[in-house]
């Protein structure tokens, strides 16, 4: 038995911040950002918008796209590292907004692969009979935790949430393989140091910008390519398919150079790699479900197409899978 994606949805906040806008904020240029990352613009949440607000719209769109009755949903899992609050969970706000009181709703903290982690849990829940129809979400309002004075990181991130409805498949379509993993030895390379129980918020942590993203870009880059390559290869092997059978590779949209190098290493033509980083930037857990929804709405995903997804992020953690559409 397989589980499948019945429908997709996504939401990007209205405000667009271009590289030219960033030139006025930090010592950077459109040319540097475009050349080093492939990003031209990103969407930024308003002061009033939290991650759940984006998620609720994405979820409503996924429900509509799937054609289900929203009351069929019996579990909600939200992959995010920018929750509305440390507690309660962001998923519980989505549950409340959708009027689905009573069903389990929880967050998964797995940085950029958060959506793949959520999908892995949903897949297991459906296969074990604990759930029948799961709403999974992945996405962020990273703009709220970016240090807007750090040109090495602030140019890379954007806001947005993607959502999918998952249920039992009644044919061969659905998830063929999923693999997730992590290596805690590299936790310091990409981290939001303060605000948790290790370093609670104080005047000093605020003054020293310790509630914002701290990143060693070069080190993250090298490990990203390795993690994406290894996890993608593993997902292909577990699925028992050939890389030539894959119609589209949807990698985490972190950097165009990371995506192209990974494509070279796993031996997939770059034309098969779906990229929207120029418009969306790095939305962490939103990357893959937002891209998938764009492809779905643009009619790129047809029945029986094999899709490879792969992601990596802070932790480090990674995840990959092969899906038959």
Please report how close the Cβ of residue 56 comes to ligand UT7 at its closest, in angstroms: 24
The structure tokens listed for 68 are 């289900």
Contact partners, residue 222, CB within 8 Å, separation at least 6: none
Which of 81, 136, 224, 301 is in the footprint of ligand UT7 by CB under 6 A? 224
Q: Is 282 a binder of ligand UT7 (CB under 6 A)? A: yes
Which is nearer to ligand UT7, 32 or 106 (by Cβ)? 32
Phi-psi region of 153 (alpha: psi -120 to 50; beta: other; left: phi over 0): alpha
Residue 323 tokens read as 């899906």
Question: Residues 12, 50, 94, 112: which binds ligand UT7 (CB under 6 A)?
Answer: 112
Read off φ and ψ for residue 175, nearest 5 degrees. Answer: -75, 125
**Residue 151 within binding range of ligand UT7, rule CB under 6 A:** yes
Rounded Cα distance between 96 and 92, Å, is: 6
Among 16, 32, 96, 199, contact with ligand UT7 (rule: CB under 6 A):
32
- What is the nearest approach in angstroms of ligand UT7 to the Cβ of residue 289? 15
Alpha carbons within 13 angstroms on the beta-carbon side of residue 102 total 6
When asked if residue 265 is in the footprint of ligand UT7 (CB under 6 A), the reply is: no
Which of 69-77, 96-104, 210-218, 317-325 is the region at the interface with ligand UT7 (rule: CB under 6 A)? 210-218
- Tell me how far, at minimum, the Cβ of 324 lies from ligand UT7, in Å: 27
19, 43, 65, 112: which is the annotated catalytic residue?
112
CB of 164 to ligand UT7, least distance (A): 20
Shortest spacing between CB 92 and ligand UT7, in angstroms: 26
The secondary structure element, H or E, covering residue 308 is strand 306-313
The answer to whether 5 and 138 have CB atoms below 8 angstroms apart is no
Exactly one of 131, 155, 176, 239 binds ligand UT7 (CB under 6 A); that residue is 155
Estimate the crossing angle of helix 51-66 against helix 90-98, to 10 degrees: 50
User: Among all chains, which residue has been given the structure tokens 């790095």?
Assistant: 282
Nearer to ligand UT7, 120 or 253 (CB): 253
Active-site annotation holds for 112: yes
**Which residue lies nearer to ligand UT7 by CB, 45 or 112?**
112
Residues linked to residue 175 through DSSP beta bridges, in sequence order: 323
Pairing state of beta strands 248-251 and 214-215? Answer: unpaired
| Residues contacting 45, CB < 8 A, separation 6+ | 13, 15, 53, 54, 141, 143, 144, 159
CB of 314 to ligand UT7, least distance (A): 7
Sheet holding 3-11, edge to edge: 3-11, 159-168, 133-141, 75-79, 105-108
* Per CB under 6 A, 313 contacts ligand UT7: yes
| Structure-token match 């165009």, residue found | 256
Residue number of the CB closest to ligand UT7 reads 217
Residues that bind ligand UT7 (CB under 6 A): 28, 32-33, 36-37, 112, 151-152, 155, 190, 215, 217-218, 220-221, 224, 254-255, 282, 284, 313
Which residues are designated catalytic?
112, 252, 282
């Amino acid at each position: 038995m397989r589980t499948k994606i019945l429908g997709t949805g996504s939401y990007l906040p209205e405000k667009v911040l271009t590289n030219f806008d960033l030139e006025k904020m930090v010592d950077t240029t459109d040319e540097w950002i475009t050349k080093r990352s492939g990003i031209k613009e990103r969407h930024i949440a308003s002061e009033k918008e939290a991650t759940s607000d984006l998620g609720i719209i994405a979820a409503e769109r996924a429900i509509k796209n799937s054609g289900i009755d929203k009351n069929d949903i019996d579990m909600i899992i939200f992959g995010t590292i920018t929750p509305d609050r440390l507690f309660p969970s962001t998923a519980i706000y989505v549950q409340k907004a959708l009027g689905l009181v009573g069903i389990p709703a929880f967050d998964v903290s797995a940085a950029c692969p958060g959506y793949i982690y959520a999908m892995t849990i949903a897949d297991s829940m459906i296969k074990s009979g604990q759930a029948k129809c799961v709403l999974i979400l992945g996405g962020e309002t990273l703009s709220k935790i970016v240090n807007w004075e750090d040109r090495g990181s602030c140019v890379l991130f954007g806001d947005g949430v993607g959502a999918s409805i998952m249920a039992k498949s009644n044919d061969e379509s659905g998830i063929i393989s999923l693999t997730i993993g992590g290596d805690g030895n590299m936790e310091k390379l990409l981290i939001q140091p303060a605000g948790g129980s290790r370093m609670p918020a104080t005047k000093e942590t605020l003054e020293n910008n310790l509630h914002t993203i701290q990143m060693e870009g070069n080190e993250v880059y090298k490990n990203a390519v390795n993690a994406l390559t290894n996890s993608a290869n593993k997902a292909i092997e577990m699925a028992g398919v050939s890389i030539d059978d894959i119609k589209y590779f949807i990698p985490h949209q972190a950097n165009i150079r990371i995506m192209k190098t990974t494509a070279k290493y796993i031996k997939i033509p770059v034309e098969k790699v779906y990229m929207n980083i120029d418009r969306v930037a790095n939305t962490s857990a939103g990357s893959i479900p937002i891209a998938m929804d764009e492809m779905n709405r643009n009619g790129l995903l047809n029945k029986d197409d094999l899709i490879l997804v792969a992601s990596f992020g802070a932790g480090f953690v990674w995840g990959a899978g092969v899906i038959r559409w």
